[in-house]
Amino acid sequence: MVVGVLVELSNQNIDRIFEYHVPEEYTSLMKVGIRVLVPFGKMELEGFVLEIKKDKETDKELKDVIRVVDSTVVLNEELLELGKWMKEQTLSTLISCYQVMLPKALKAKNGQNISIKYDVFYRLNEDASFEKLNASQEKIISLVREKGLVLKKELAELSLSSLNTLIRKGYLLEEKQEHYRLGFKDQKLVKKELTPQQKKVVSTVIEGDAKPYLLYGVTGSGKTEVYMEMIDHYLKQGKTSIVLVPEISLTPQMVQRFRERFGDQVAALHSALSDGEKYDEWRRICKGEAKIVIGARSAIFAPFENIGIIIVDEEHSESYKQSDPSPRYHAKDIAIKRGEYHHAPVVFGSATPSLEAMARAQKGVYTYLELPERVNGKGLPAVTIVDMNSAMKKAKGHFSQPLIDAIGKRLEKQEQVILLLNRRGYSSFVTCKNCGFTFKCPNCDITLTYHKSSNTLRCHYCGYGEKVYQTCPECGEKSLNNLGVGTQKIEEELQELYPMSRILRMDYDTTSQKGKHEEMIDAFRDHQYDILLGTQMVAKGLDFSQVTLVGVINADTSLNIPDFRSSENTYSLLSQVAGRSGRAEKTGEVIIQTFNPDHYAIHLVQKQDYLAFYQAEMNIRRQLKYPPYYYLCNIRVSGKNAMELFDEAIKIKKSLERNLDQVIILGPSSGNLFKINNIFRYNIILKYKKDDSLRELLEKIIDHYKSNPKIKVDIDFNPSQMQ
């Protein structure tokens, strides 16, 4: 027997199948989709079996498979075909497409480090005579006879020596059961009654065709309850479901709500889990113990059979697109592909749908659904815009007087407040007032961010850090100044303004420790804190009944980013965070501080008119030839020598110009972040409506440079960010 193996080495030069001979002892174990260990040059590598042949098709002597790694298939037929499709769509290596589907434990060099955990139980040996037992032995036997199966730890607490004696005499028989690392709390099964609008949405999907749907529902309209009702329908048909959420911070809350409804049929897959927890959840799915998967982007690859429905919550989120490393896939594209395979509906939900999704809904590519009202019967919270150009005169720090007063009133009523500032750290950068020197990362083309709690300057791209100087390293003067503002600085100002309030800061720095997201969300829900201050992770999906005020410290942070989506991202972020206010019985309000009060994105957030924003933004996109009117492709050329890099980028552009018609070619231009970790980057941006010959040409460019160690060419179709 001969097998075709794709080795786990992501290199364009070896992205193909290699044939190996199968020793006789392994022939019965061979299946397409399992992993094997094979010799490769001087190395031993794991790889996926993609082909099985009875005889070799070459006269060349083949090397033997060393051993079989898996007893069961790791990648089923659907996922194997999906990987090949991803390779074509993203121009990535096939092995990278398969690797992104798997938890770390199932990747080369990792599986041996993560083992299956077991709990040891004991039951009675019914054939034993149970003679001459002392008092402690009798107690153990009685307990096992009563319960049938008892955990070893529980029996050992009665008497370890007596337990060992009973085991040695054969009175007790050992039984192992797998112990899952991710604990499950006992949940009370809860089902809420749906509103007529919610019922209409559910019936449209479950009675309709297996195709994509766009659910536009205002914040607080009960989209999650709709999702659960749909899933319940398919669960009763014996089908499985996938639910994607964009932020890790949302996953614990979403998982909890689903477990309240569906119990331990729910599995979680996201990056906040340990490698062992992911491995356990993956195997629960494979064994059929979990029927519903909730997770971030990579959860779309859950190895389910017979999928009934796929749901993508907050579909507008950029986090569904993998920007780095390759493959640069979009989870929404994978969702549609898997939906087609399983003949399952795919529901995209959002209070601020992406322009691409809404455009497809208006064209009939997606079926349009809406939930225009909140389930509590109340309107959306009133939004006040504060013009900081004039308000700064009476401001205290970064807080305008209207926001200061509003926070004070809510605290007096013992209500809760959420404050958004989408920038972590203490200040954006440190500069010298005397000579103008600014601290920059030596590896990246970016200023260092000051973090007061650790008294360090840090790069948020490569991780470089250094202690803060007392004097300027350039002129020697004690004239260093912190400019810009981050969440640490705002937390300090809050403590001065409201010394008796309990403040919880939620950003990357405070949530990087495992389990912190869930711990903080639970603590704020239990009203252990009065004010929740955070970055965009506090803006989406969170549901707190006591929050009646949302404040945005600086609405212009995302507006000033040099990206064609900056207005859309700003509108979405502000609308989403505004939706955290007044979600229960108490009326909510929102205060947004900005230096651009007349910008249409901010003005329409105040009016809470998504459709008006959609029309305004679409007019701009049409004029500038941006999505959804044109597709985009970013060709990133990177390397360590900036001059040599630019010359090669010019050659690539000229090749494109010679071979492409009706394609707008921009660049090469330096990336928004020109240097990251000592690697320079140039971008060539393509705008096009059809890609008949584009992919073939790009493949040739990749092939041309794949053996050049100095130049790297990366292709990103429909990039989420232009970096």
Q: What's the 3-state SS for 397-431?
A: CCECHHHHHHHHHHHHCCCEEEEECCCCCCECEEE
pLDDT of the residue at 623? 95
pLDDT of the residue at 691? 77
Taking alpha carbons only, the member of 176, 89, 83 closest to residue 698 is 89
Q: Is residue 450 part of a domain?
A: no
> How far is the C-alpha of 581 from the C-alpha of 577, rounded, in Å?
8
pLDDT of 628 over the 70 cut: yes
Is the domain of 493 the same as that of 600?
yes
pLDDT of the residue at 346? 98
Q: Is residue 280 part of a domain?
A: yes
pLDDT of the residue at 663? 93
> How far is the C-alpha of 279 from the C-alpha of 114, rounded, in Å?
8
Is the domain of 155 the same as that of 245?
no
Residue 111: pLDDT band with limits 50, 70, 90: very low
Q: Is residue 191 part of a domain?
A: no
pLDDT tens, 181-191?
A: 776 666 667 78
> What is the CATH classification number for the domain harbouring 82?
3.40.1440.60
The two tokens of residue 491 are 């937390």
pLDDT of 78 over the 60 cut: yes
Residue 110: pLDDT band with limits 50, 70, 90: very low
pLDDT of 9 over the 90 cut: no
pLDDT of the residue at 184? 65
Expressed as residue numbers, the domain containing 696 is: 631-717
Where is average pLDDT lowest: 103-117, 354-368, 484-498?
103-117
- Domain boundary residue, one of 596, 621, 646: 621
Q: Is residue 89 part of a domain?
A: yes
- Domain boundary residue, one of 178, 207, 223: 178
Taking alpha carbons only, the member of 535, 467, 483 closest to residue 507 is 535
Q: How many CB atoms lie within 10 A of CB 692?
A: 10
Question: What is the DSSP track for 56-79?
Answer: -SSSSPPPBP-EE--SS-SS-HHH
Is the domain of 108 the same as that of 123?
no
- Cα–Cα distances (Å) from 251 to 116, 173, 293, 295, 492, in that order, read 24, 40, 11, 6, 29
Taking alpha carbons only, the member of 312, 347, 161, 342 closest to residue 238 is 342
More confident residue, 114 or 154: 154
Is the domain of 496 the same as that of 418?
yes
Written in H, E and C, the secondary structure of 449-503 is EEECCCCEEECCCCCCEEECCCCCCCCCCCCEEEECCCHHHHHHHHHHHCCCCCE
pLDDT of 484 over the 70 cut: no
Collapsing DSSP to helix, strand or coil, 173 comes out as: strand
Please measure the distance between the N-terminal and C-terminal CA atoms of the chain and give it in whole angstroms.
Answer: 49
pLDDT tens, 49-71?
A: 999 987 766 667 899 999 999 88
Is the domain of 125 the same as that of 224?
no
pLDDT of 108 over the 60 cut: no
Is the domain of 102 the same as that of 128?
no
pLDDT of the residue at 185? 64
Q: Is residue 354 part of a domain?
A: yes
Q: At 355, which amino acid appears?
A: L
The rounded mean pLDDT for the chain is 89
pLDDT of 404 over the 90 cut: yes
> What is the CATH classification number for the domain harbouring 648?
3.30.70.600
pLDDT tens, 448-470?
A: 888 877 788 888 778 888 888 78
Question: What is the DSSP track for 250-281?
Answer: GHHHHHHHHHHHHGGGEEEE-TTS-HHHHHHH
Residues in the chain, total: 723
Is the domain of 98 the same as that of 28?
yes
Q: What's the rounded mean pLDDT across residues 307-321?
A: 95
pLDDT of 45 over the 60 cut: yes
pLDDT tens, 630-667?
A: 999 999 999 999 999 999 999 999 999 999 988 999 98
Is the domain of 609 the same as that of 494?
yes
- Domain boundary residue, one of 621, 653, 685: 621
Is the domain of 552 the same as that of 681?
no
Q: Is residue 460 part of a domain?
A: no
Is the domain of 134 the same as that of 98?
no
- Please confirm whether the linkage preceding 325 is cis (ω < 30° from 0): yes
Phi-psi region of 612 (alpha: psi -120 to 50; beta: other; left: phi over 0): alpha
pLDDT of 376 over the 90 cut: no
Cβ neighbours of residue 636 closer than 8 Å, sequence gap 6 or more: 671, 681, 682, 683, 713, 714, 715, 716
Backbone angles phi, psi at 517, to 5 degrees: -55, -55
Q: What's the rounded mean pLDDT across residues 215-242?
A: 96
pLDDT of the residue at 8? 87
Collapsing DSSP to helix, strand or coil, 601 comes out as: helix
> How far is the C-alpha of 35 from the C-alpha of 410, rounded, in Å?
59
pLDDT of the residue at 59? 62
Phi-psi region of 343 (alpha: psi -120 to 50; beta: other; left: phi over 0): left
Residue 4 contacts residue 17 (beta carbons within 8 Å): yes
- Sheet with 2-7, side-by-side order of all strands: 18-21, 2-7, 43-53, 35-40, 67-68
The two tokens of residue 302 are 């859950």
More confident residue, 709 or 589: 589
Residue 131: pLDDT band with limits 50, 70, 90: confident
Is the domain of 298 the same as that of 209?
yes
Q: Is residue 530 part of a domain?
A: yes
> What is the CATH classification number for the domain harbouring 502?
3.40.50.300
Residue 315 contacts residue 244 (beta carbons within 8 Å): no
Q: Is the dihedral of CA 273, 275, 279, 282 positive or negative?
A: positive
Number of domains in the chain: 5
Taking alpha carbons only, the member of 613, 535, 624 closest to residue 572 is 613
> How far is the C-alpha of 170 from the C-alpha of 124, rounded, in Å?
9
Residue 20: beta bridge partners? 3
Beta strands in 602-701 (DSSP E): 631-639, 664-676, 679-688
Q: What's the rounded mean pLDDT across residues 18-45?
A: 92
pLDDT of 323 over the 80 cut: yes
pLDDT of the residue at 539? 83
Is the domain of 76 the same as that of 136?
no
Q: Is residue 478 part of a domain?
A: no
Residue 448 contacts residue 430 (beta carbons within 8 Å): yes
